[in-house]
Amino acid sequence: MVTINPAKAVNLAHELGSIAPGKKADLLIIERMEDGYPMITTTMVNGVLLTQTKYRTNSYAEEVIG
């Protein structure tokens, strides 16, 4: 993870270190479910949307139930 100060220190603030159009960014959007548990709903790498979901999958629960 890189923030603006380390990016400035290595002269890469024009490319990364903050969220802005044209900059590289890896992002996770986490929402709180009704039961209070967090769920990753959106994943982006280098500003490209990889996954977006509105449901939770739990492989352990699937193993136990199925």
Cα separation, 31 vs 9, in Å, equals 33
For residues 47 and 23, the answer to whether their CB atoms sit within 8 Å is: yes
11-45 pLDDT per residue, tens: 999 998 888 888 888 889 998 888 888 888 899 88
Instruction: Tell me how long the chain is.
Output: 66
Cα separation, 9 vs 15, in Å, equals 13
For residues 50 and 42, the answer to whether their CB atoms sit within 8 Å is: no
- Which pLDDT value is given to residue 66? 47
Q: Does 2 have pLDDT greater than 60?
A: no
List, in sequence order, every beta strand (DSSP E) within 1-66.
27-32, 38-45, 48-52
